Amino acid sequence: MIGAMRPVIIAANWKMNTTPADAGDLARAIAGRTREPDVVRVICPPYVCLAAVRDAVAGEGIGVGAQNVHQELAGAHTGEVSAPMLAGLATWVILGHSERRRDAGESDALVGRKLGRAVEAGLRPILCVGEQLAEREAGQAVAVVERQLAGALAGHDPATLLAAGLVIAYEPVWAIGTGRNASGADAAAMAEAIRAALRASGWGTGADDVPILYGGSCTSANIAEFLAEPSIDGALVGGASLKPDEMAGMVGRAAITAAARRAAGA
Ligand code: PGA
């Protein structure tokens, strides 16, 4: 599968880091160090920092994303944020991150409901999937990811999700925040399994249009291994995304892949 026509995306997941007082400065520093027009850049700060980041990167061509949305539109859900509330603040959203599956008990079905709300609100979803270490060691990694995908995508029309620009992030849980990244070959094999699963569930050739990112201890030092794989279209980055130098290195490397794809597709 040649990924010639898919965009190359570097998405920063700041998790529960930064404050409204310092997020704008960090976003500005990243923007200034990552001006590569062929790379899709996204920053996903905490909800309370969305406005600061939006303002800091205005005119830079950087997407701003939330890290979650609630599955209902409004109502008695103390402490939650719904997709329509993000209007004017975010145009992307991370869904089903393993830390939310762990901390908030999010199930595949719940992630699927959130996906529906995100798409209705015009948010571009980054749907996260990935296996635990024990599942990989038991040879179950592909089966787990297939189950997560099937659960989250059930009832959703592929054409609608394609039009919404669905992105899938493969993030093996054992690689997140551990300094232990997957191999490029393993990530590529999973990306191919994900596209095969989509094809088998009615997506047809649309499966080839879905960008698939790798996530899990991705840094400027190891991103080349992932971007060298034609089936991998970029990265969802946690810890390293808080460092402008690291972002510069990763986006710079992504620009090489984007240029190569452009040349191959021309
Ligand atoms: P990490 O996090 O890069 O810190 O491993 C990635 C993620 O959870 O999206």
Task: Identify which of 60, 107, 68 has the alpha carbon closest to the alpha carbon of residue 85.
Answer: 68
- Band the pLDDT of 4: cuts 50, 70, 90: very low
| 77 annotated active-site | no
Query: 36 catalytic, yes or no?
Result: no
Residues 177-195: b if buried by 16+ CB within 10 A, e if exposed: eeeebbebebbbbbbbbbb
Residue in 36, 106, 131, 171 annotated catalytic: 171
Dump pLDDT digits (tens) for 108-125: 999 999 999 999 999 999
Per-residue model confidence as pLDDT tens digits over 24-35: 999 999 999 999
Q: Is 227 in the pocket of ligand 1 (CB under 6 A)?
A: no
Among the atoms of ligand 1, which is closest to the Cα of residue 128? 9
pLDDT digits (tens, 9 = 90+) for 74-89: 999 999 999 999 999 9
- Does residue 100 contact residue 127 with C-beta atoms inside 8 Å? no
Q: For a pocket test of ligand 1, which of 103, 218, 242, 247 has the largest count of ligand atoms closer than 8 A to its C-beta?
A: 218
Residue 102 Cβ contacting ligand 1 at under 6 Å: no
**pTM, 2 dp:** 0.97
